[in-house]
Amino acid sequence: MATNRTFTMLKPDAIENGYLGKVLDMIVGAGFEIKAMKYTRLSEDEAKKFYEVHAERPFYGELVEYMTSGPIVAAILEKDNAVADFRALIGATDPAEAEEGTIRKSYAESKAKNAVHGSDSDENAAIEGEFHFNAAEIF
């Protein structure tokens, strides 16, 4: 059964390019409630651990380097059908393939610098949320 929470990160390119406010506006405007939020920068160890599932992929090193290159915003979001609805809002991994009106179509630079992360399952949403937030930081 689908749960009602997902996890997101606004990635370094979105912050660097000045899209923090615009992306948050799209997220809230689409009906997601912010349950937790943090402006932070991932250490190399944190980025490696967060993306451990991609460790064997050829882009892993580039991904870790990029995700530690500047600040990010991490957040837990709540809405009915959160995981699927959020993935629809952000669009395909590669912005060239993302639909009009999606966050990545509007604000992402490339497949690697793709502006925003969205959990791919309820299970990963819970794991990723717990990676970044303790119980006292979730409202």
Q: Does 117 bind ligand CMP (CB under 6 A)?
A: yes
Q: Does 126 bind ligand CMP (CB under 6 A)?
A: no
Q: Does 111 bind ligand CMP (CB under 6 A)?
A: yes
Q: Which of residues 4-63 bind ligand CMP (CB under 6 A)?
A: 54, 59, 62-63
* CB-based burial label for 68 (10 Å; 0-12, 13-18, 19+): middle
Q: Does 87 bind ligand CMP (CB under 6 A)?
A: no
Active-site residue flag, 117: yes
Please provide residue 16's backbone torsions phi and psi, each rounded to the nearest 5 degrees. -55, -40
Q: Is 40 helix (H, G, I), strand (E, B) or coil?
A: strand
Half-sphere exposure of 86 toward its Cβ, with a 13 Å CA cutoff? 33
Task: Return the residue matching tokens 């009106």.
Answer: 101
Q: By C-beta, is 1 or 20 nearer to ligand CMP?
A: 20
Q: Is 58 helix (H, G, I), strand (E, B) or coil?
A: coil
Q: Does 93 bind ligand CMP (CB under 6 A)?
A: yes
Q: Does 138 bind ligand CMP (CB under 6 A)?
A: no
Minimum separation from the CB atom of position 117 to ligand CMP (A):
4
Give the CA distances from residue 58 to residues 29, 55, 111, in Å, rounded to whole numbers and listed in that order.
36, 8, 14
Q: Which residues bind ligand CMP (CB under 6 A)?
A: 54, 59, 62-63, 93, 111-112, 114, 117
Active site residues: 117
